């Protein structure tokens, strides 16, 4: 070995360079792989001081029908649902709206196979009712939705359905949640089609390139 080095002293230089390179590569590997442990999440639960309130937007008010007439002060004259419905026979099998021609004309209805009276209360048309007959006031409609859509309500209560505005950290500020009916029309709950906004542009100030896929 020493004879080799004596004849070709430059080999020592080369060996040194190679050794330094290997050391640096070892450092790179270590930094990339061994540093991971530091960034593992710390699983401690922090008791948050005084939580700010979570407000759920109010449900719909008890609906009243606008007769189209105005009173002496110019206010609209409205009628409660029970005004007309106390004189009609409840139709427990109706589950379409396209042939309604008196009130409720133009109501778009698409809520599965449910009949109107699955939710509306034949005993008191100014309220809704649960499956066991208990009445539910219109502003409390979320209880009725949750009756069938329990999984969605479970997700909603855990924050993964329905969105929110405000703070993720309730110790820093309040939060406002949507009511079910803010996003889902109870008669036509499927989310409506919308036009998308802000199409991406692939070069600076170049108009949108049409899809080719």
Partner 1 sequence: MNDPSPPSPKTPCGGNCSCSGGSANASPPPGDDGSTRRAVLKGLGATLGVAAYAKALAPLTELTKETSMDEFLQKHYKELSKDEIATVITRLTQEAKEQYGADVTISDPKPQEGVKFGYALNLSICNGCRKCAEACHLENNHDRPSHQSYIRVFEMTKGSMDFEKGNVHYDHPVPQPDKYYMPVQCQQCEHPPCVDVCPVEATWKEKDGIVVVDYNWCIGCRYCEAACPYHARRFNWQKPQIPAAEINPDQSYLSNRIRPQGVMEKCTFCLHRTRNGRLPACLEACPTGARVFGDLNDPASEVRYVLENKRVFVLKEELGLKPQFFYFFDE
Partner 2 sequence: MSDSAVIPVPAKPVPEWRQYLRFAWNAFSQSVEGGWKFYVWMTLLTAVFLVGANAWAVQVRDGMALTAMSDHVSWGLYIANFTFLVGLAAGGVMMVIPAYLYHDEQMHDIVIIGELLAIAAIIMSIMFVVCDLGRPDRFWHMMPGLGKFNFPVSMLTWDVIVLNGYFAINVYICGYLLYKRFRAQQPVAKMYMPAVFLSIVWAISIHTVTAFLYCGLGGRPFWNTALLAPRFLASAFVSGPAFIIVAIQIIRWQTGRMFGEGAIRTLVGIVRITILISLLMVVSEIFVEFYTGGSHTGAAKYLYFGLHGHHELVPWIWTSIVFTIVAVVLFMQPKVNRRPVLLNTACLLAFVGLWIEKGMGMIIPAFIPSTLHEIVEYRPSLTEWKITAGIWALGFMIYTLLLKITINIHSRKLKDTSGARTVTPDDALAMADGGGLV
Residue numbers at the binding site for partner 1 (CB under 8 A)? 32, 36, 39, 41-46, 151, 155, 158-173, 178, 183, 191, 193-201, 203-205, 208-211, 213
| Total of chain residues touching partner 2, rule CB under 8 A | 19
**Cβ atoms within 10 A of the Cβ of 81, count?**
19
Q: Residue 98 or 158: which CB sits closer to partner 1?
A: 158
Whole-angstrom Cα distance, residue 153 to residue 162? 9
Q: Residue 11 or 122: which CB sits closer to partner 2?
A: 11
Q: Return the residue of 1, 2, 7, 10 that touches partner 2, per CB under 8 A.
A: 10
Report the SS3 class of residue 136: strand
**How far lies 133's CA from each of 81, 114, 121, 128, 139, in Å?**
19, 16, 8, 9, 17
Whole-angstrom Cα distance, residue 98 to residue 104? 9
Q: Does 199 bind partner 2 (CB under 8 A)?
A: no
How is residue 173 written in tokens? 């500020």
Report the b/e string of 108-146 with b at 16+ CB within 10 A.
ebebeeeebbbbbbeeebbbbbeeeeeebebeebbebbb
The item of partner 2, partner 1, none sharing an interface with residue 61, based on CB under 5 to 8 Å by kind, is none
Q: Residue 63 or 163: which CB sits closer to partner 1?
A: 163
Q: Does 98 bind partner 2 (CB under 8 A)?
A: no
Q: Residue 26 or 183: which CB sits closer to partner 2?
A: 26
User: x/- binding map, residues 20-59, to partner 2, per CB under 8 A?
Assistant: -x--xx-xx--xx---------------------------
Contacts of 127 (CB under 8 A, 6+ apart): 62, 121, 135, 136, 137, 138
Give the residues lining the site for partner 2 (CB under 8 A): 9-11, 13-14, 17-18, 21, 24-25, 27-28, 31-32, 202-204, 212-213
């Amino acid at each position: 070995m020493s004879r080799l080095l004596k004849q070709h002293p430059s080999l020592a230089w080369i060996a040194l360079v190679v050794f330094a390179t290997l050391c640096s590569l070892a450092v790179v590997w270590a930094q990339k792989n061994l540093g991971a442990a530091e960034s593992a999440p710390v699983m401690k639960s922090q008791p948050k001081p005084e939580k700010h309130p979570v407000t759920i937007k109010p449900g719909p008010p008890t609906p009243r029908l606008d007769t189209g007439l105005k009173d002496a002060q110019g206010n609209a004259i409205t009628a409660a649902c029970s005004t007309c419905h106390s004189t009609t026979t409840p139709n427990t099998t109706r589950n379409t709206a396209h042939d309604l021609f008196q009130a409720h004309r133009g109501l778009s209805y698409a809520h599965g196979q449910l009949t109107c009276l699955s939710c509306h209360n034949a005993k008191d048309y100014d309220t809704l009712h649960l499956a066991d007959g208990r009445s539910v006031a219109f502003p409390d409609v979320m209880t009725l939705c949750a009756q069938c859509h329990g999984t969605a309500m479970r997700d909603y209560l855990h924050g993964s359905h329905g969105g929110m505005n405000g703070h993720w950290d309730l110790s820093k500020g309040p939060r406002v949640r949507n009511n079910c009916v803010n996003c889902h029309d109870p008669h036509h709950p499927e989310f409506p089609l919308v036009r998308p906004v802000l199409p991406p542009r692939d070069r600076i100030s170049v108009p949108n390139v049409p899809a080719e896929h």
